[in-house]
Structure 1
């Protein structure tokens, strides 16, 4: 059945790859991102790109109103916009940390708040929130990123219970290592931090590991996410969580069952 879908963060990586797959299946796909120039290929395929910043409430409202005016409903919202902020707690400014939460957490909340009333009216809908395996575990130098994804987990769990009576499903996507812009963003974050940082050695090791993963077989292709989202969209009863991509399942398993000290040893042994 053809569905009306809104995807945030669709200008690259997982969002763009999935948009292509959903458009090819005949769904009506609206793609939202700040970089609208990078979504023109989606327009040629039959998608509907919209320039929107998830931290700008008026832009969100305008986007949702446009879709409702044209389509009358939104069947699926995929809150995919987000980025990774890396650096030690000591080095990263609180302004940068607040920006991380504005996009990764409050951005999800802002878009959701505008879409939910329309889903309630239809007594139907699916909301997919992109968390990460990092929402269940942690790596050094990623405190603010992991904190934001842990928050996405809690937000989504509560939202799922709140919306159950309105027949609105809330699904949490927990990707592992995916070949996207994430690695380059991490390296850029580190490069902005002073060479005088007391954490320079740790940052160097993490950068080397990130580059090695990008060059080798350390990440899954975005297509694994696209297949998963397509499955969720086409399901009448999707699972609560989908953990997909390189290392996602084993890393979360280790974090859950091995305990803090053992998991700490495993993580630090990779540095």
Structure 2
């Protein structure tokens, strides 16, 4: 495999748990100068104890992002690699969610990623090198009931990454998407299930769907084996291992699916017509609202 020098600095968002934390630990062990960030600095104190640089960073707060990038650039000249990992999932059928919640979802998952990328790109262009890794999802390429808004943010991340990859390649900057399947035992999953439970329903028609959705995602994120997704759910470090591989590759691919479900379902999505994908995959493997019973 063709390799390039290890970046002198890696800035990672969302390191309080899950994929971001796993990336910080793995890349630190690999010899990178890691700057792990989180909204709540207390949540990453243990990373500082392990020798990792830690910074407060909220992807919905412009000042905190500017300060974090400035600190890395002051020490290294530019950010060698940015890993956009921060995000959460809003669960609601399209007609239910409060629009303020939808806006908050996009502020975190899309606009935060865009703002931070815009802050690091000038330094990367000036240095003639750099890597932006955007953590997307298998749901960046298809959508399922009850997750439309979250899926829409990941579709947006995919489109923005494609555009940035083409816009910055001539300046030596690589923009790469990572597309994990479901990740077991993360705070992300626990928050997702909590969001489903706390959802204000538009009506009783979706009550049974919400109950099924809670059971379904509890099985996945809680380590269950009652669903295909639960059986083949991956670990956060599987994603971190892929990010490490990207950072040592001179010409990384545009996309890196992670896990059996990611590879298999994305292949099916490419090949199957919409009606086949809906009926043979989504309706069989995910909770779907049912109409009135006669």
Q: Is the 8 Å Cα contact of residues 159 and 170 (structure 1) preserved in structure 2?
A: yes
| Separation in structure 2 between the aligned mates of residue 11 and residue 263 of structure 1, nearest angstrom | 35
Q: Normalising by structure 2, what TM-score?
A: 0.89
Give SS of 1:236's match.
Answer: coil
Q: Aligned runs of 1:147-186 on 2, under 5 Å?
A: 147-179=152-184, 180-186=186-192
The aligned residue for residue 24 of structure 2 is 19
The aligned residue for residue 226 of structure 1 is 240
Q: Deviations over 1:24-46 (max 9, x none)?
A: 12210001110211111111111
Q: Normalising by structure 1, what TM-score?
A: 0.96
Which 4+ residue blocks in structure 1 deviate beyond 6 angstroms?
A: none
- Of the three residues 209, 212, 216, the one matched with 2:216 is 209
Matched, 1:190 2:204: no
- Mean CA deviation greater in 143-152 or 241-250: 241-250
| Separation in structure 1 between the aligned mates of residue 26 and residue 48 of structure 2, nearest angstrom | 13
How many Å apart are 1:246 and its aligned residue? 4.6
The aligned residue for residue 29 of structure 1 is 34
Give SS of 1:247's match.
Answer: helix
Structure 1 residues 132 and 10: alpha-carbon distance in aligned structure 2, compared to 1, 3 A threshold:
same
Q: Is the 8 Å Cα contact of residues 6 and 247 (structure 2) preserved in structure 1?
A: no
Give SS of 1:89's match.
Answer: coil
How many Å apart are 1:197 and its aligned residue? 3.9
| Separation in structure 2 between the aligned mates of residue 38 and residue 8 of structure 1, nearest angstrom | 13
Give SS of 1:235's match.
Answer: coil
| Separation in structure 1 between the aligned mates of residue 247 and residue 104 of structure 2, nearest angstrom | 30
| Separation in structure 2 between the aligned mates of residue 246 and residue 8 of structure 1, nearest angstrom | 26
Task: Name stretches of at least 5 consecutive residues in structure 1 with no aligned partner.
Answer: none
| Separation in structure 1 between the aligned mates of residue 88 and residue 132 of structure 2, nearest angstrom | 19
In the alignment of these two chains, the number of paired residues is: 271
Matched, 1:126 2:102: no
The aligned residue for residue 105 of structure 1 is 110
Q: Is the 8 Å Cα contact of residues 38 and 56 (structure 2) preserved in structure 1?
A: yes
- Of the three residues 61, 65, 70, the one matched with 2:66 is 61
The aligned residue for residue 122 of structure 2 is 117
| Separation in structure 1 between the aligned mates of residue 70 and residue 199 of structure 2, nearest angstrom | 41
RMSD (Å), alpha carbons: 1.3
How many Å apart are 1:183 and its aligned residue? 2.2
Give SS of 1:70's match.
Answer: helix
How many Å apart are 1:177 and its aligned residue? 0.8
Give SS of 2:205's match.
Answer: coil
Q: Deviations over 1:53-104 (max 9, x none)?
A: 1111111111111111122221101111111111111110111001111111
| Separation in structure 2 between the aligned mates of residue 68 and residue 97 of structure 1, nearest angstrom | 33
| Separation in structure 2 between the aligned mates of residue 229 and residue 205 of structure 1, nearest angstrom | 33
Q: Is the 8 Å Cα contact of residues 88 and 141 (structure 1) preserved in structure 2?
A: yes
